[in-house]
């Protein structure tokens, strides 16, 4: 990197060359490649929120071009005093280029219709394909405008995946044609809102990853359809319930047509209850499992592996990739498809080295420091920056790494990392749920750029203090973008 102090860009680009000069450009924009016109339109919209009005012009000073030599998701940006030229080979890279321009561009203080951009040459690409943020929408109602703002946050800091935890014991926030009573009254999104969210994220190159969390966390299922899903705190496992869940996941895949990933849950399930349920026992025998086996833990784990595999089948059938929480024991690794991505979060149900050795690809969701449980975030932005995608620090008893942590050797089997916001305490900790949800977003805003930095660049590029100074400036612009959009949707 050269002269990077002159540019305020987060995450830090791979290569930056600056000459120390700032040039002026007309607020005109042109896409030389038709596929990038949507990305240019998104940038135009964000600029308008900052009070900068761009017009389309074939002679524009600011242009986006196609370059097949640039890898997917990567981009090049050059500003030489005459032209600002952005180049990419796909729409994701084009959006990354425009997100960078949004950060370094400012309106002229002297003339209207003019923006100022530092003369520079930037070559940039992400190290991790998976750079994620998760928000728990099921424990507390989040107005639809918040979902839009989460996409804005991901766009601005080049986060690739927005993971939405739509279901839990407290509510089922998705619409459903197949099981309409599942949708919690007053706490579920409409089909029109889901469609609008899909379009909004797709235009910005953000992957939405919806989650239906089963077989545990399922009271919302059992309240409305106990005959199908059971009553014992875990989705009853029999042919009718398996078919129903596969239909729900098929419906979810249709509901999110642009999504590459679908999360099937899989954490904190009372799997031993299957061995006590007459219908589950009958089903187990019908598929060649013995619910009375001497090793009862293994018998329950075998049923868990069967459930996860059946859910994954529905996802694979739709041409998408299933993701599950670390939730099964290593003894059943041979019964779970290695094409399912695993979110390793606590190294309790199974430790990361065992998952890696078995051939799974994992996403680092280490509780410490990646979890936010408002109002008391346990870990600071600095602790998030000290983390890497190869480092886990479990906090719950039962993990062999309590008190010492885990750090593994670099491997392509770690796909990336994710910041996660859970709503367990919001309802009891704030005067209103809306205030709690707003506070939660602030905690995310304060931490997301550090996650972005650590997943865009596996190697640290800047000292924490220098990065924090940059983030203080980029955050101000992002907050303004969000505030200007609150009443738009």
At 399, which CATH number? 3.20.20.80
120 and 134 fall within a common domain: no
Q: How many residues does the chain have?
A: 489
User: Tens digits of per-residue pLDDT, 83-102?
Assistant: 999 999 999 999 999 999 99
CATH number of the domain to which 95 belongs: 3.30.379.10
- Residue 486 is predicted with a pLDDT of 66
Question: Which of 80, 107, 124 is at the close of a domain?
Answer: 124
Instruction: Give the CA distances from residue 424 to residues 38, 87, 143, 213, 354, in Å, rounded to whole numbers and listed in that order.
Output: 38, 43, 17, 15, 30
The answer for residues whose C-beta is within 8 angstroms of residue 373's C-beta and 6 or more apart is: 421, 422, 423, 424, 425
Q: What is the 3-state secondary structure (H, E, C) of 19-65?
A: EEEEEEEECEEEECCHHHHHHHHHHHHHHHHCCCCCEECCCCCEEEE
209 and 306 fall within a common domain: yes
First-residue to last-residue Cα distance in the chain: 40
279 and 305 fall within a common domain: yes
Give the C-alpha separation, 381 to 109, whole Å: 33
Of 317-321, 453-457, 476-480, least confident by mean pLDDT is 476-480
At residue 171, the 3 state secondary structure works out as coil
Residues of the chain above pLDDT 70, percent: 98
Cis-peptide into 11, omega within 30 deg: yes
Query: pLDDT band at residue 488, thresholds of 50, 70 and 90?
Result: low
82 and 148 fall within a common domain: no
- Residue 80 is predicted with a pLDDT of 96
110 and 152 fall within a common domain: no
Q: Single out the residue of 267, 263, 283 nearest to residue 275, CA to CA.
A: 283
User: What's the number of domains the chain is made of?
Assistant: 2
User: Tens digits of per-residue pLDDT, 43-91?
Assistant: 999 999 999 999 999 999 999 999 999 999 999 999 999 999 999 999 9
65 and 147 fall within a common domain: no
Here the tokens at position 61 are: 């000073």
Helix, strand, coil shares, percent, the chain, to 5 = 40, 20, 40
The pTM for the full model equals 0.97
Beta-carbon-side half-sphere exposure of residue 186 (alpha carbons within 13 Å):
2
Task: Classify the C-alpha dihedral 230-234-236-240 as positive or negative.
Answer: positive
454 and 424 fall within a common domain: yes
Question: Which of 103, 124, 145 is at the close of a domain?
Answer: 124
Query: pLDDT band at residue 115, thresholds of 50, 70 and 90?
Result: very high
Q: What φ, ψ does residue 320 adopt, rounded to 5°?
A: -115, 170
359 and 428 fall within a common domain: yes
145 and 72 fall within a common domain: no
Q: Which domain holds residue 23?
A: 4-124
13 and 156 fall within a common domain: no
> What does the mean pLDDT of the chain come to?
95
pLDDT > 60? residue 255:
yes
99 and 244 fall within a common domain: no
- Residue 378 is predicted with a pLDDT of 77
- Residue 93 is predicted with a pLDDT of 98
Question: Which of 73, 103, 124 is at the close of a domain?
Answer: 124
63 and 145 fall within a common domain: no
- Residue 4 is predicted with a pLDDT of 41
pLDDT > 70? residue 2:
no
Q: What is the DSSP string of 414-454?
A: EEEEEEEEE-TTHHHHSSSHHHHHHHHHHHHHHHHHHHHHH
Cis-peptide into 215, omega within 30 deg: yes
Q: Single out the residue of 467, 484, 481, 488 nearest to residue 99, CA to CA.
A: 481
Q: What is the DSSP string of 90-112?
A: SHHHHHHHHHHHHHH-EE-SS-T
- Residue 5 is predicted with a pLDDT of 46
């Amino acid at each position: 990197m050269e002269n990077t102090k002159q540019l305020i860009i987060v995450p830090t680009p791979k290569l930056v060359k600056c000459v120390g000069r700032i040039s002026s450009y007309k607020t005109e924009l042109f896409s030389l490649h038709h596929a990038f016109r949507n990305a240019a339109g998104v940038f135009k919209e964000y600029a308008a929120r900052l009070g900068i009005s761009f017009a389309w012009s074939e002679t524009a000073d600011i242009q986006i071009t196609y370059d097949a030599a640039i890898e997917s998701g990567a981009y090049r940006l050059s500003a030489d005093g005459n032209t600002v030229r952005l180049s990419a080979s796909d729409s994701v890279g084009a959006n990354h280029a425009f997100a960078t321009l949004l950060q370094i561009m400012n309106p002229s203080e002297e003339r209207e219709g003019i923006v100022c951009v530092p003369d520079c040459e930037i070559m940039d690409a992400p190290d991790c394909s998976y750079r994620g943020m998760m928000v728990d929408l099921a424990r507390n109602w989040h107005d639809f405008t918040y979902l839009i703002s989460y996409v804005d946050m991901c766009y601005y800091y080049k986060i690739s995946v927005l993971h939405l935890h739509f279901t839990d014991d407290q509510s089922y926030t998705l619409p459903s044609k197949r099981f309409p009573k599942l949708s919690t009254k007053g706490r579920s999104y409409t089909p029109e809102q889901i469609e609008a969210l899909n379009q909004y994220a797709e235009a910005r190159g953000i992957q939405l990853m919806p989650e239906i969390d089963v077989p545990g966390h399922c009271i919302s299922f059992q309240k409305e359809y106990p005959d199908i899903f059971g009553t014992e705190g875990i989705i009853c496992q029999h042919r009718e319930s398996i078919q129903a869940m596969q239909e729900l996941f098929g419906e979810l895949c249709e509901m999110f047509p642009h999504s590459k990933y679908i999360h099937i849950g899989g954490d904190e399930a009372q799997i031993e209850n299957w061995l006590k349920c007459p219908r589950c026992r009958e089903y187990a025998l019908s598929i060649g499992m013995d619910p009375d086996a001497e090793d009862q833990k293994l018998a329950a784990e075998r049923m868990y592996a069967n459930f996860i595999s059946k859910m994954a089948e529905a996802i694979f059938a739709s041409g998408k990739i299933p993701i599950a929480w670390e939730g099964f024991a290593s003894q059943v690794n041979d019964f779970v498809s290695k094409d399912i991505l695993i979110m390793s979060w606590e190294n309790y149900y199974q430790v990361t080295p065992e998952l890696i050795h078995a051939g799974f690809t994992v996403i680092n969701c280490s509780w410490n420091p990646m979890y936010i449980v408002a109002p008391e975030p346990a870990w600071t932005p600095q602790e998030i920056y000290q983390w890497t995608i190869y480092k886990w620090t479990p906090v719950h008893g039962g993990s062999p790494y309590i008190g010492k942590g885990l750090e593994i050797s670099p491997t392509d089997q770690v796909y990336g990392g994710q910041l996660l916001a859970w709503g367990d305490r919001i309802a009891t900790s704030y005067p209103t749920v809306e205030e709690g949800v707003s506070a939660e977003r602030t905690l995310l805003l304060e931490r997301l750029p550090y996650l972005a930095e650590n997943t865009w660049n596996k190697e640290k590029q800047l000292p924490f203090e220098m990065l924090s100074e940059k983030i203080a400036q980029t955050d101000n612009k992002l907050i303004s973008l969000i505030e200007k959009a609150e009443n738009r949707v």
